Structure formats: C-alpha cells, structure tokens
Amino acid sequence: MKITTIIGARPQFIKAGVVSREIKKHEDITEIIIHTGQHYDYNMSDIFFKELEIPFPDYSLNVGSGSHGVQTAKMLAKIEEVLIKEKPDWVLVYGDTNSTLAGSLAAVKLHQKVAHVEAGLRSFNRLMPEEINRILTDRISDVLFAPTQNAVAELSKEGLSENTLFVGDVMYDSVLFYQKKIKQNFSAYKIPNIPQDYYLATIHRAENTDFPNRLQSILDAFGELDKPVILPLHPRTKNIIMNFKVPKNAVIIEPVSYLQMLALVINSAKVLTDSGGLQKEAYFLNKYCVTMRDETEWIETLENDWNIIVGADKDKIINATMKKNSNSDRIDAFGNGNSAGKIIKFLTERYR
C-alpha cells in the first residue's frame, strides 16, 4: 500500500511525524511525503527533522507565501503533478491549512482516496480562512479521522457520520512521545536566562497582531501580571510589537524549537496564547491556559476552567491569569495516545 502525506507547516510535520512512526512498523506500506512549502520556517532544517525524528520530505514544492488564492492554486497544480506520478492508494491531509485544502482537492479530482486527520473541528467563525479549509476538506474526504467526540457530533450534524471515525488526537500521541524524551534530558531543552517562575505567552494570529488596540491591550495586561511573561516571537510579530509599549516584565526571546516549547510549558505557571496547538499542549501537560481569542475549536479544554477564553480584553486576561484554579480533573477527551495506530489500522483494513 502507498500513502502520500501532504503537509505545509511545522505543526503538520509534528502531527504527520506521529503517523510516520507508525507507518514504519509496517513493511508493506510505503509513505511519500510532500512538503508544499506553504510556510517558510527558520526551524525547518536538518536539526528540526533529526530532533523530532521526522522523515525528510520526498518532494519539496517551495510554493512560499502569497494570497490565499494564489498560494492554494500553486499548490494545487504542483501537488497534482506528484499525485499523477505516484498514484497513491491513500492521500493523507492534516488540519486546516491551505496545503490541506489543496492536497484534498488535487486528490479527489484524480479519484484518489483522501483521509483527513483532525476532521470535524469548527470555530463557527467563517472569517477565519482555516474554518473554510476545514469545512471543504471534510466535505470531499473519503474518511474523516475525528480527534474528539465533539468533532464526531459536529460531522454527524453535517451528514458526514458514515465516513467518520473517532481515533483521538495525534497531538496527544506526540506530546506523550516527546515528553518522555524531554524528561530524559531536560537540561538539553532548557532556555538560558529564563526566570524560575513565569507565565509562557505566544501571540501570532492576525486577529491580534494586525489590530493595534487588541495588541496593546494584551501587552498592557502582561504588564500587570505578578510574574515575568516569557514571549517567544517570530520575526514578523517581533517587528510589529516593537512599535508598541512593551511592559518591562515581558521577556522577549527568539523563536524556540518544538521540544524547547514543550519544556517551557512544563516549567511554566500558566500559558497565555492565541495558538490552537498550544491550548492543547498546555492541557495535555496539566497546565492551565488563558486563550487570547474570541473562540476555540477545542471546547473540551474549557471544562473545569482548564482553558479560559478572554479575547484581547485586558481585565479578563489579568483576572483569568491571576485566578486560583481548582484541582479538578481534566476530562479524557482526546483518546488514549494511540491515534496513529488506529489511523493506520483503518487505512490498511480498508485497503484490503
């Protein structure tokens, strides 16, 4: 059996790496990895792949940035060429990027079977390009691998239950795997000159960085917190923030690797973020999270206030961060840490 995996951004490499490790256990499965190049990443280097034990791509399409229409069109054309050449039995797409949509469109028009990992998520905010990508990909995929029962329920509402399978979240698999690696040699992933007691924050979404009032409100909130705020920033966001009033307790550091980020989460007091992935990673690592967005796809994390939605409201950010949380248990909503095994088992059985 031949599986073609299509990815274009660093989080997708991490998710796909979990499944790739499972594929390696099967001598009768060949995996072809296509990297669209949707996001240039400073960390997308030999070190990145070796650190995370992720296979190198077989095809790098180097599409680069551009408007949504231009970028998706370029990817669609280039992915199609590879799929015609490779003729896979399954095309695996992940998440909700333009690479996800382009890969699924290219495959389905060639009558190749598409499997969508992380299907059924909805923010119900159609202003988000990711929301459109999710909806369209789910509509045209042959099998929908849902990470939670809420995702299963959403797909059922949309009339897609026949093609839906609950497998759990591959990111939970990933965190469990890498957490062991970090704990075996924690000092290797520790960032120098970081205070002992801190909050970890990330800001990257356009809904925050492109609106001065929202961004300044978030920064003002950081300035009134009772601990330093560690803020790893990509160059684009760093350039934007430098035009604003940055509080003294915000410790801006260079971007970090995935394993360094997990180590920062493990040592943090709480996590403040507008990232979808970091909300879950905090949850998996038993850290309370304050989400600086107006909604979340990961509604399971909201149970017992493990995650609190605050938008960019200064007072809400401060109150949620300073709040003394209870020790309520997290709900077991993301599977048992063997999502990749379930995915490959299904694809293998369906192939036969």
Q: Which residues are catalytic?
A: 204
Structure tokens belonging to residue 231 = 């803020």
d(C-alpha 307, C-alpha 93), whole Å = 27
* DSSP state for residue 42 in the 8-state scheme: T
Length of the chain: 352
Torsions phi, psi for 110 (to 5 deg): -95, 5
Q: Are 95 and 118 in contact (CB under 8 A)?
A: yes
CA–CA separation, 329 and 343 (whole Å): 28
Please give the Cα distance from 274 to 291 (Å, whole number). Answer: 6
Tokens of residue 112, six digits: 């190749």
Q: What 3-state DSSP class applies to 39?
A: coil
- Cβ atoms of 19 and 117 within 8 Å: the answer is yes
46 backbone dihedrals φ, ψ, rounded to 5°? -55, -40
- Whether 307 and 287 have beta carbons less than 8 Å apart is answered as no
Residue 175, CA distances (Å) to 44, 80, 237 in order: 19, 33, 26
Q: Nearest-CA neighbor of 45 among 18, 13, 71, 80?
A: 13
Helical packing angle, 170-184 and 258-267, nearest 10°? 80
3-state DSSP percent of the chain in helix, strand and coil, to 5:
45, 15, 40
Q: How far apart are CA 151 and CA 300, in angstroms?
A: 10
- Reference 135, options 180, 178, 171, 101; nearest CA is 101
φ and ψ at residue 272, rounded to 5 degrees: -120, 125
Buried b / exposed e along 190-202 (16+ C-beta atoms within 10 A):
ebeebeeebbbbb
